Structure 1
Amino acid sequence: MTASASAGERRPARPRRRVARWLVGIALTAISLAFVYPFVWLISASFKPRGEVFDNRILPETFTFDNYLSVWQEAPLALWLANTAFVTVLATVCVTLTSTLVAWGFAYYEFPGRDLLFWLLLGSMMLPGAVTMIPVFLIWNQLDQVGTLTPLWAQNLFGSAFYVFLLRQFFRGLPRSVFEAATVDGASAWTLFRRIALPLSKPALVVTAVFEFQAVWTDLMRPLIYLRDSDTFTVPRGLKAMLDQFGFGGQWHWELVVTAGVVTTVPVVVLFFIAQRHIVRGITAGGGVR
């Protein structure tokens, strides 16, 4: 009697859990749609003629591919994409390599003042970008590099405090016994880093590379500061020029602006879907989840 009564008391909990799961699922779906809708609208608007861009229809009433043909003729989009790819690849490789080397030094080696140096490095993250913007510009101006693509990627030769912190946390989670065993077998410091640490830290390296790729690909501030000639424009700077010309310049070719936005957004979306498995693994591992 007691057992049947306790079983009867437990039964109502299952429907409650099911209702709670449904409510969570509905909430997550609504939030996901809210985030996805702007991109879906952008794609839909790129297939509409000028007069229907802002009609807020998901399915275009008049479907046309003319925008994707016209945008390459009205602006040097291919050149802007090439400039952006050049800057993004160099910046991503540089910051990933240098940040990894610095993070490995902080994680594996013990030396006087290590913790103080690391805290000073983290403290640099607290400085707003506006504080260093003018001094950095003056340095590049003295080097006669203003108006070139060099300032957009060469700053990454010195690493990034955020990525150093991320990679250091990942390196500290690796089993130290593996490195000690390799050292006993005669492995050098470079061998430990190249043959053991790097392969084991692949998820964290992918996270660093993807984050930096997205940041540089979509960066507008530095191109606005350093680039003068349209032949050196990156995609964000080119889109700003298109917006000024076709959006606010009296011609109102919004269909070309949104089409260029789709063309330049697709590479980042594709990269995320390709690397999403490594991104999830890298973030969870860096947060201490095993």
Structure 2
Amino acid sequence: MPAVSGEARFDAIPGRLRTLATAVGVHSLAVTLSLVFALPLIWLVSTSFKTGQEAFRIPPVLIPERILLSNYLKGLTFIPIGRAFANTMIIAIPRILGSLIACSLVAYGFSCLEWDGRDTLFFLCVSTMVIPYAVVMIPLYIFYSHLGWVGTFLPLIVPYLFGEPYYIFLLRQFFLGVPSELREAARIDGFSEFMILWKIVLPLAKPVLAIAMVFQFWWIWGDYMEPLIYLDNPALYTIALVLHNFGVNWKGADLERYPWFMAAVTATTVPVLVLFFLVQRTFVEGIAVTGLKG
């Protein structure tokens, strides 16, 4: 009796059963990977409710015996999170708004207007993304030091008001997909190029703008290197700097403060999660759109 290969046996399974088996396998893999990636976050939240002794218990305990909400009050009081939150927002709000405006204008010029050297200049703009930040770190510090900006928020805001290459590229790729007939009809109706951008192109680009906004906020929120370089006054420290300093200065013998630190870190993830859920649908649409147009 001839042997039957595994592929042949699989093909012999009825269609519905085969579809069900495939779906179960795919979903099982997705759930497993989700748990693996979510485990650090689950452990973070769990530890934020524990006592110091529970946090270091061997074997580890995932569910605390007693939920200590006071860890959040102590963590947010002991660590100057409120001031750090305000400093981070002072940087984030003007930087994101200014960057989105500048990137939209530049991307429109690179995609919807015809002028000599456009593609060459766009290539040079995008090429700057391959330059490592470590290469320009010292020259930028010297430059901003001569301007008297070191020790202020200006180096963290002003350079980004002129646009960022990645988001210029992202918006340009979307603008190229906007039908030129819409712009031509608007020009016939007497619209200026700025009005075409404001009234027609940008409303269509809301999903891409949502992506740029979320990515920029996420980057600013977790940025440690740039604030470390330019901010020398603890009163100006951002969220990332404050949490890092507390983590470095934390003494291992003081076990009770460790859950406070975990509580403060958990609390700082809330703004990013809130922003994502507020723009979730638009964000997902933007991912799909940019994926198709890329």
How far residue 288 of structure 1 moved from its aligned partner, in angstroms, is 2.4
CA distance in 1, matches of 2:222, 2:184: 42
Identity %: 37
**Stretches of 4+ moved more than 6 A in 1?**
none
Tell me, yes or no, if the aligned pair for 2:177 and 2:293 is still in contact at 8 Å. Answer: no
Aligned residue for 2:250, secondary structure, equals helix
CA distance in 2 between counterparts of 1:270 and 1:39 reads 16
Q: Which amino acid aligns with 2:285?
A: R
Alignment correspondent of 1:48: 50
Hey, what does 1:34 align to over in structure 2?
36
Amino acid in structure 2 at the alignment position of 1:78: G
Say which is worse superposed, 201-210 or 47-56, in terms of deviation: 47-56
Q: Which residue of 2 aligns with 1:4?
A: none
Residue 97, structure 1, aligned to residue 122, structure 2:
no
Which residue does 1:20 correspond to in 2? 22
**Residues 88 and 216 of structure 1 are in contact (CA less than 8 Å); yes or no, is this contact kept in structure 2?**
yes
Task: Give distance in 2, aligned partners of 1:26 and 1:279.
Answer: 26
Q: Which runs of 5+ in 1 are unaligned?
A: 1-8
Aligned to 1:6: none
Structure 1: distance between partners of 2:71 and 2:53: 13
1:115 aligns with 2:124: no
| CA shift for structure 1 position 128 | 0.7
The 2-side partners of 1:269 and 1:150 are apart by: 27
Q: Return the alpha-carbon distance in structure 2 between the equivalents of residues 10 and 34 of structure 1.
A: 35
Are residue 282 (structure 1) and residue 282 (structure 2) matched?
no
Aligned to 1:271: 275
Distance change (3 Å), C-alpha of 1:195 and 1:247: farther
Residue 45 of structure 1 contacts residue 54 of structure 1 at CA under 8 Å; is this kept in 2?
A: no
Structure 2 SS opposite 1:60: coil
Residue 243 of structure 1 aligns to which amino acid in structure 2?
G
TM-score computed with the length of structure 1 as normaliser: 0.92
Q: Summarize deviations over 1:78-105 as a string: whole Å, max 9, x none.
A: 1011111111112211211111111111
Question: Is 1:57 aligned to 2:67, yes or no?
Answer: no
1:1-290 to 2 correspondences below 5 Å:
12-55=14-57, 56-247=60-251, 251-252=254-255, 253-288=257-292
Q: Distance in 1 between matches of 2:244 and 2:251?
A: 10
Is contact 1:80–1:232 with CA below 8 Å preserved after alignment? yes
- Residue pair 2:129, 2:166 contacting (<8 A) in 1 also: yes
Q: Name the count of aligned residue pairs.
A: 281
Alpha-carbon distance between aligned partners in 1 of 2:259 and 2:129, rounded to the nearest angstrom: 39
TM-score of the superposition, structure 2-length normalised? 0.91
CA shift for structure 1 position 11: 6.6
State the one-letter code of the partner of 1:25. Answer: H
In 2, are the aligned partners of 1:173 and 1:288 still within 8 Å (CA)? no
Distance in 1 of aligned mates of 2:131 and 2:243: 29
Separation in structure 2 between the aligned mates of residue 72 and residue 25 of structure 1, nearest angstrom: 39
Pair 1:30–1:115, CA change in 2 (3 A)? same
Taking the aligned partners of 2:220 and 2:230, their CA distance within structure 1 comes to 14
Counterpart secondary structure, 2:218: helix
Relative to structure 1, the CA distance from residue 286 to residue 12 in structure 2 (aligned partners, 3 Å threshold; closer, same or farther) is same
Is the Cα contact below 8 Å between 1:204 and 1:282 reproduced in 2? Answer: yes
- Structure-1 separation of matches of 2:271 and 2:98: 20
The AA in structure 1 aligned to 2:96 is T
For 2:128, give the aligned amino acid.
Answer: S
Distance 1:247 1:155, change over 3 A: farther
CA distance in 1, matches of 2:188, 2:251: 66
Classify the secondary structure of the residue corresponding to 1:258: helix
Amino acid at match of 2:127: G
| Residues 254, 26 of structure 1: alpha-carbon distance in 2 compared, 3 angstrom cutoff | same
Contact (CA 8 Å) 1:206, 1:275: kept in 2 or not?
A: yes
Amino acid at match of 2:54: E
- Runs of 5+ unmatched residues, structure 2: 1-10
